[in-house]
Amino acid sequence: MRKLALASLTVFMAGSGAAWAQAETSKVPPANAMKLSEVVAKVEKRDKFQYVSEIQWSELGYYDVTYFMTDKAKVEIKIDPVSGELK
C-alpha cells in the first residue's frame, strides 16, 4: 500500500511540474515576433488615430498598447506579437 501511495505521489508531482512549466509567463516577446516598429506602424493606420501613449509587453504574451484618437478618446488594445492582430 505504501508503494502504491508513493507511486501515485510521484506521478502527481511529475504531472504538476509539467503544468507549472506551461503556466510560466514570457518576460520577453518570442523570437518570431514582429518588430516593435511594425506594431506601432500597424496601430498608426487605425481609423482616427492621433498618437501612441504607451506600449508595454505583457508577460501573458501580448503587447498592451494605449493610444488616443483625434476625438481625444483613449483606446487600449492587446496585440499578438507574431501576427500583429488584436487579441
pLDDT per residue as tens digits for the range 50-61: 999 999 999 999
Is the pLDDT at 9 greater than 60? The verdict is: no
Assign 17 to helix, strand or coil. Answer: helix
Indicate whether 72 belongs to any domain: yes
Q: Domain count of the chain?
A: 1
Yes or no: say if 79 and 35 are a contact pair by the CB < 8 Å rule: no
Domain with residue 74: its CATH number is 2.40.50
Work out the average pLDDT over 76-85: 97
Strand segments (E) across the chain:
49-58, 62-69, 74-79
Distance, CA of 50 to CA of 43 (rounded, Å): 10
Residue 1 has a pLDDT of 58
Yes or no: say if 56 and 64 are a contact pair by the CB < 8 Å rule: yes
Q: Which domain holds residue 31?
A: 26-79
Does the predicted model carry a pTM greater than 0.85?
no
pLDDT digit string (tens) for 22-51? Answer: 456 789 999 999 999 999 999 999 999 999
